[in-house]
Structure 1
Amino acid sequence: MTTLQPRPPYTDAELQKLYPPNLDLQLVQILMRHGERTPVSPRFQNTGLPPFWPYCTSVRQITSTILSPSSSSLTTLQWTRRLETFSRESDSPTLALSPTSHPDNICDMGTLTDLGRQTTSSLGARLRDLYITRLGFLPPAITSPSQIYLRTTPVPRALESLQQTFSTLYPPNTRLPSPETGIFPTPVIITRAHADETLYPNDGNCRRFAALSRAFAQRAADRHNNTPDMEYLNQLIGKWMDGGKVAVDSRPRLSGVMDTINATLAHGPETRLPKEFYDEKARGIIEKIGVEEWFQGYRESEEYRRLGIGGLVGDLVERMVKSVEGRGDEVRFGLLGCHDTTLAGMLASLGAFGTERWVPFTSHVAVELFRDNMKGGRERGGWFGGLFGKGKEIGRRPAEELGEEEKKKLEGYYVRLRYNDEVVTVPGCRMEGKHLEGDESFCTLAAFKEIVDKFTPKNWKQECRMGRGETVSLPKVPEPAGY
């Protein structure tokens, strides 16, 4: 799947059912995939597909912070970026050109395109319509961004997508001067060093996870390389592949074929593959195998879940628990710029990715925390507990380590997930006593935390080093996700 086609806004009846009056929305955390981009590497130039695409007008207006030579203060430099490459005849340098031989607006590999900026801006507008205009959960204007938690991976397309989404969630005319300072504080966007990043499955800095990923990828190759489905793909596009063969582990890999297909489908006619690449049956086969190769490990292996996405999901739960306890800053809304592997990895680890279709560009998962206003949970476990309660924070401590008083703090709170505005249900939450009566999609916070605790790492970096040099073996019996 490529560009997301958002569903229509909720009707009033749908909204009332999704947000019942006895539940107060307390914290929302949005994980969003970046918008449309170019392929992460050039492929299929033998079909006539140009390696460089002219869909990035932003490169003509890049602004950088520099030190002013006259005043020793910081100022800005606006500049235009052009790409240089090798000439076709030799290693001589030459400017990269568009299909119409222009050097401007040229995208680099894996770059957010003009369309990607549009769709992520549209996401921000949809979030504003839901959480501000219709639900009144967030204020229509802000004087401080302190209630908004912004975090992104260090990948530029994720950062730029986050910026685009925030810019329409709170457009400039809704960011008002603070009464204390007379200015609107600069929004803070949090990033991490690559070695510490858990906002995507970090196989580059977690060797154990990388080994597990290779093992599951090899199993997918063993299962699918010699099948009628792969033969169907070979008949269609095998002639364009290196070595004349399509396989899970071919050159390019089958997932790389999918990457280029999806990127070309999202953009204009100047950057199209031959029509056989867009055969509907072929695309279904490619996506089904791609989903298995990349995400089946989350469904079957607790270690895979723990090393691949457990740190991130543990962060989400810890933030919800802090909101319940009334500890720390009162963040009400989180926006996290990430990737397709983040969204599918998290949902699959919770047993809630029930699809064989790839995550479209600008997809999002909403993790919503509710308080039952009939039970008064906030007063018992929130402000009062945070100010006067004794004992250490619940945070990441496993459920079995919590005392009865600590467990009571979580009562009356529920977690609900929506993927691209469609409700998804965690299977372990369907059990009696684990959800809001009458609606299995509202998982009790205690049950949700207990499920996540099972694959939240205690020391991610140390666990990433475990088993180095050992042969990786997959679980003999699948360890189901979401329980």
Structure 2
Amino acid sequence: MTSLVPRKPYTDDELRRLYPDGLELRQVQILMRHGERTPVSARFQNTGLPPFWPYCASVRQMKTAIMAHGGEKGDAPFSTLEWKRRLETFGRDDRPVVAAGPKGEVDDVCDMGSLTDLGRQSTFKLGLRLRHLYVDRLKFLPPVISSTDFMYLRSTPIPRALESMQQAFSALYPPSAREPDSTGRFPAPVILTRAPGDETLFPNDSNCRRFAQLSRAFAQRAADRWNDTEDMHYLNKLIGKWMPPDRPRVAVDSRPRLSGIMDTINATDAHGPDTKLPPEFYDARGRQIMEKIAVEEWFDGYKESKEYRTLGIGGLLGDVVERMVGSAEGRGSQVRFGLSGCHDTTLAAVLASLGAFETTEWPRFTSHIAIEMFRKSDTAAAATGSWWASMFGKATSAQIGRKPTPELTLVEKKKMDGYYVRLRYNDEPVTIPGCKPNGKHLEGDESFCTLAAFKEIVDKFTPFNWRHQCHMNTGVPGIPPEVPEPAGH
């Protein structure tokens, strides 16, 4: 199973337990994996699997902003060019041909790694579930909005992540829930993106030299551990005959890699009968083995190495904490709700770095983490009053979000009193080990970490200068750390 099967909506009793009286929900930040997609590269065509899939109807309706006549003066308005995209590929003797699906389709053909029609549907449905919970049930978000100024919308540069986030937003606030301004139009939502070299919304091994070195080291450890085991022998008996003739063995570091094999299996499993592999690829035991090994290869580094956490996901979690603390401080331009389009590696890295990814299951398509911040209703915090007032109120000079916990004054620490953080992964609360001791969680529920304890845990692997740290320690072996550095404390 690679597509997420959402749990049923919370019952009234479940909702009362999850959102108890005496706690006021103050902020929600959602990290969402994109929906179902095509494989990131063509594999196993020797099985009859077509390289191109006809599951992307959106490419019939492409639009591009075009400057109108008079643009040389710099004041011309933009219009829209509507166009239809077709893919071109190599044919015989390298002659160009139009890429086609298994039945000769040419107009709905997806590129590699593209969000499919099914992926659009599943991420739209996620947005509906978010609206049902946060608007209809909890009354946390307004049913109708006149702008997105209270939201933090962001995506990685990968189109499937951006499109998935846009699908979820469109269901959370459909056109009927958006009020036009004086011009008769709803103000365009601001969606933040970063240049690849600045991206921290996923583990950026392409632009962080030291993290790439660490990733390779943990991948090699996984290969050394698993390549000559009964589990790998089982996989070779199962699907080894389909491997390339020059590299006929399935291995962690085979070509395609074991994780790449799993990628194609997962993508085909989610889609229609015309894009399936032979039945042996979907063997239950074989898939469990693949996921177990891939999870160790890709995510054990976060569990074991502080440096791995710092360079891989520390920047993102530092940003998350800064937004929460900013809300607790009562600073202006606060985020009420965040929605970020990201990836499986983002979600697993976040949970593993917090000591809360105790599973061998790879994150499913459209999985998400809800990071919720609460305030005790009787807390005499600086940011009293409604969130609307705090949003537009005068900003304070103190900003403690990025300041390491040991450097905080008593007055600064006091600002976080009465605030709690809770993570839900696919609608199920998770518990962070460092939040279990007395005084570091809400009495009676260890899943509610105090904001101070959560910040203290994240501070330990928040980079002080990510770009600089990406070039440090490159001459040092990647693993293992000399002293154990368990996550979540």
TM-score normalised by L of structure 1: 0.97
Kindly indicate whether residue 238 of structure 2 is the aligned counterpart of residue 232 of structure 1.
no
- Residue 294 of structure 1 corresponds to which residue in structure 2? 298
Q: Is the 8 A contact 1:198 1:309 kept in 2?
A: yes
- Residue 106 of structure 1 corresponds to which residue in structure 2? 109
Give how far 1:395 is off. 1.6
Q: Is the 8 A contact 1:371 1:378 kept in 2?
A: no
Q: Is the 8 A contact 1:380 1:409 kept in 2?
A: no
Q: Is the 8 A contact 2:371 2:421 kept in 1?
A: yes
- Residue 184 of structure 1 corresponds to which residue in structure 2? 186
- Residue 436 of structure 1 corresponds to which residue in structure 2? 442
CA offset digits 1:1-54 (Å, max 9, x no partner): 510000000000000000011000000000000000000000000111000000
Q: Is the 8 A contact 1:377 1:413 kept in 2?
A: no
Equivalent in 150, 158, 161 of residue 158 of structure 1: 161
Q: Is the 8 A contact 1:350 1:426 kept in 2?
A: yes
- Compute the RMSD of aligned alpha carbons: 1.8
Could you tell me how far apart the structure 2 residues matched to 1:345 and 1:333 are? 22
Determine helix, strand or coil for the equivalent of 1:284: helix
Determine helix, strand or coil for the equivalent of 1:244: coil
Give how far 1:393 is off. 1.1
| AA matched with 2:301 | G
- Map 1:402-421; keep pairs closer than 5 Å: 402-421=408-427
Determine helix, strand or coil for the equivalent of 1:66: strand
Give how far 1:477 is off. 3.9
Could you tell me how far apart the structure 2 residues matched to 1:379 and 1:76 are? 44
- Residue 352 of structure 1 corresponds to which residue in structure 2? 356
How many residues were matched structurally?
A: 481
Give how far 1:102 is off. 2.0
Could you tell me how far apart the structure 1 residues matched to 2:107 and 2:122 are? 22
| AA matched with 2:307 | E
Kindly indicate whether residue 264 of structure 2 is the aligned counterpart of residue 265 of structure 1.
no
Could you tell me how far apart the structure 1 residues matched to 2:57 and 2:317 are? 36
Give how far 1:390 is off. 7.1
Determine helix, strand or coil for the equivalent of 1:359: coil
Q: Is the 8 A contact 2:332 2:395 kept in 1?
A: no
Q: Structure 1 residues 140 and 251 mapped into 2: Cα distance closer, same or farther (>3 Å)?
A: same
Task: After superposing the two structures, state which structure 1 stretch, 2-11 or 321-330, moved more.
Answer: 321-330
Q: Structure 1 residues 477 and 223 mapped into 2: Cα distance closer, same or farther (>3 Å)?
A: farther
Could you tell me how far apart the structure 1 residues matched to 2:84 and 2:239 are? 38
Could you tell me how far apart the structure 1 residues matched to 2:177 and 2:134 are? 15
Q: Structure 1 residues 408 and 388 mapped into 2: Cα distance closer, same or farther (>3 Å)?
A: farther
CA offset digits 1:167-205 (Å, max 9, x no partner): 000000110023x55432110000000000000000000
- Residue 211 of structure 2 corresponds to which residue in structure 1? 209
| AA matched with 1:314 | G
Determine helix, strand or coil for the equivalent of 2:168: helix
Q: Is the 8 A contact 2:218 2:479 kept in 1?
A: no
Unaligned runs of 5+ in 2: none
CA offset digits 1:136-180 (Å, max 9, x no partner): 0000000111011100001100000011000000000110023x5
- Residue 303 of structure 1 corresponds to which residue in structure 2? 307
| AA matched with 1:442 | F
Determine helix, strand or coil for the equivalent of 1:94: strand
Give how far 1:70 is off. 6.1
Q: Is the 8 A contact 1:29 1:334 kept in 2?
A: yes
Identity of aligned residues (%): 66
- Residue 374 of structure 1 corresponds to which residue in structure 2? 378
- Residue 448 of structure 1 corresponds to which residue in structure 2? 454
Task: After superposing the two structures, state which structure 1 stretch, 135-144 or 392-401, moved more.
Answer: 392-401
Determine helix, strand or coil for the equivalent of 2:294: helix
Unaligned runs of 5+ in 1: none
CA offset digits 1:77-123 (Å, max 9, x no partner): 11000011111x31010111110012110000000000000000000
